[in-house]
Amino acid sequence: MNKLEKKKLIEKYKNYQKQIFEESLPIDRELFFQLFDYLDERLEKRGCNHDFSLTEEFFKDKDINITKVLEFLEENGGYCDCEVIFNVEEKFEE
């Protein structure tokens, strides 16, 4: 396999991984960006309690299955509010 073929294969794999990630989202991508902004702002002021209290607060008045969202966050390395920012948000930037 030459370099060009290898590069194309790697690109194809990355696109496939992105597709799988997108299909696994339990809520709209834009709502995740709103959550990240909300957490950034609140964590800067309050710090992290090492739970999902701010994430739960964000979704409180929204018609969202919070259990599915929390499962998704944990599956992607977010086990508390600050880890959502440090581990999950970066997956949306890839």
pLDDT score of 85:
97
pLDDT score of 23:
93
Instruction: Tell the residue number behind the tokens 């991508």, with chain if given.
Output: 29
- φ, ψ dihedrals at 52, nearest 5°: -105, 25
* pLDDT tens for each residue of 5-31: 999 999 999 999 999 999 999 999 999
pLDDT of 94 over the 80 cut: no
Taking the C-alpha atoms of residue 73 and residue 75, their distance in angstroms, rounded to an integer, is: 5
Predicted TM-score of the model (pTM): 0.85
* pLDDT tens for each residue of 34-70: 999 999 999 999 999 999 999 999 999 999 999 999 9
pLDDT score of 93:
81
Taking the domains of the chain in order of start, what are their residue ranges?
27-92
Class of residue 78 by CB neighbours under 10 A (exposed 0-12, middle 13-18, buried 19+): buried
